[in-house]
Amino acid sequence: MSEINTNQSFVADGSQQNKNYLLPLTAMTTLFFLWGFITVLNDVLIPRLKGVFDLTYTEAMLVQFCFFGAYFIVSLPAGMLVKKMGYKNGVLTGLVVASVGCMLFYPAVVVHEYWLFLGALFVLAAGITVLQVSANPYVVALGPEKTASSRLNLAQALNSLGTTVGPYVGGILFFGTAGTLAANAATAESVKVPYLMLAAALLTIAVVFAFFKLPVIAEHTEEQDCKAKGHSLKEAPHLMMGVVGIFCYVGAEVSIGSFLVNYFGEEHIAGLEEHAAASLIAYYWGGAMVGRFIGSAALQKIAPSKALFFNAMMVIALLLVTIFTEGDLALYSVLAIGLFNSIMFPTIFSVAIEGLGSLTSKGSGWLCLAIVGGALVPLVQGVVADTVNIQQSFFVPVICYGFIAWYGLNVVRLADSWKQRIG
């Protein structure tokens, strides 16, 4: 693995540094909102394209496969880009590439080929990957290490605001109202304008960031951090298991969101039309937003490992209710999962890189690679949905959350073994 050197370090102490970093932290959180909005549009795009191209669930999940597969392919090159060009230019590059991906939806609609939509999504996701590789470790670095989990939860809350607004806006733009749905049911025409608008927004934000000055965070070097010198990331079990945890979490979260519209359309669940079902996804992601704001405050007092275990067990319970019940109970149970999903990504990310010292940037890169779970887990669930049924397919994310619960129980022990190893 090549090292992702983001020229970052943890700030040693509190208040004065946080005051100085308030503006750059605020600026970076706007990016979290942006990619949250864009990413969640996939949940609405999937049923749109499924209907237009008469796809199976497995074929429809190729949307997420191509989008999140970009994380696996692009993360390391993105890291090298950020290493060479710095945060600011990395952000600008990510915004421009993402805007190009949005523009590619126009020819995809004109030609009316599914593979062109998948290609456009890959390019869009490549841009988002560059933003992710830059922003997550940078936000962690903008303050004391002990509050890193709280700080990243706050930034991710803005991400969740984007994912809350996205389904509602996307449902209106892609499906219209019940009265207009039938008119364009056989085409993807409704997809064209929203993505062109996103392209314009991305380029506008890029111009703003071009004139914005981001502070340079002092780098953790081998000379400054003798403890980690000579050690390998493979010796850090809390990181290695954290990589699996990120894979499971992103995979499960994306997979659940991807199936909600079709799930709510099942007669024994809610029997909703696509445009109505799409609007309900906002409650799933809105729960995550509320939970992250709560988590940002709570994690200053509650151990992140305990919070992670509790939330994972609550999600497992809600998924089992979703699988074995019908009607409103099944519907509200799956929507409530968002609330307990809330703290998982930022908490896993921050505890996984704790104590890595000069290896922090490289470890952050490994965690970004694990976002590929969003490509693979939905595909697996799609196969199960086609083979058995959509309701039983939710056993796939149950397995994922089972691992996350285990990680929450054991991460402190795993981190302590690393600290003992490096002395």
Q: Enumerate residues 6+ apart whose C-beta is below 8 A from 27.
A: 209, 212, 214
Domains, in order of start, for the chain: 15-213+220-422 (1.20.1250.20)
Tally of CB atoms within 10 A around 104: 20
CB–CB of 52/174 below 8 Å? no
Report pLDDT for 223: 43
DSSP alpha helix (H) spans, 182-236: 189-210
**For residue 411, which of 160, 241, 291 has the smallest C-alpha distance?**
241
Instruction: Look up tokens 């970093």; give the residue.
Output: 21
How far is 56 from 58, CA to CA, in rounded Å? Answer: 5
Instruction: Look up tokens 């060479």; give the residue.
Output: 84
The number of helices, as runs of H, and strands, as runs of E, in the chain is: 17, 0
What's 268-336 look like in SS3?
A: CCCCCCHHHHHHHHHHHHHHHHHHHHHHHHHCCCCCHHHHHHHHHHHHHHHHHHHHHCCHHHHHHHHHH
Report pLDDT for 176: 63
Report pLDDT for 229: 59
Q: 11 - beta bridge partners? A: 144
- Residue 35 sits at φ, ψ, to 5 deg, of -75, -25
Residues of the chain with pLDDT under 50: 1-19, 178-185, 219-226
pLDDT tens sequence across 298-331:
888 888 899 999 999 999 999 999 999 999 999 9
Q: Which two tokens stand for residue 94?
A: 């990510």
How far is 352 from 109, CA to CA, in rounded Å? Answer: 42
- State the DSSP H helix or E strand holding residue 44, giving kind and residue range, or none if neither: helix 22-53
Burial of 299 (0-12, 13-18, 19+ CB in 10 A): buried
Burial of 208 (0-12, 13-18, 19+ CB in 10 A): exposed
Report pLDDT for 228: 54
Report pLDDT for 34: 85
Q: Which two tokens stand for residue 278?
A: 């799409």
Report pLDDT for 335: 93
Q: What is residue 215's DSSP assignment?
A: P
How far is 292 from 289, CA to CA, in rounded Å? Answer: 5
Report pLDDT for 134: 77
Report pLDDT for 422: 75
How far is 338 from 86, CA to CA, in rounded Å? Answer: 34
**Helix 148-175 / helix 189-210 crossing angle, nearest 10 deg:** 140
pLDDT tens sequence across 219-269:
433 444 445 556 677 888 999 999 999 999 999 998 998 899 889 989 999
Report pLDDT for 218: 54
DSSP string, 340-381: HHTTHHHHHHHHHSTT-GGGHHHHHHHHHHGGGHHHHHHHHH
CB–CB of 151/142 below 8 Å? yes
How far is 108 from 202, CA to CA, in rounded Å? Answer: 19
Burial of 211 (0-12, 13-18, 19+ CB in 10 A): exposed
- Residue 81 sits at φ, ψ, to 5 deg, of -65, -45
Instruction: Look up tokens 């887990």; give the residue.
Output: 377
Report pLDDT for 179: 38
Q: Global pTM?
A: 0.76
Report pLDDT for 401: 98
Q: Enumerate residues 6+ apart whose C-beta is below 8 A from 1.
A: 76, 233, 362, 365, 366
| 3-state secondary structure (DSSP) of residue 226 | coil
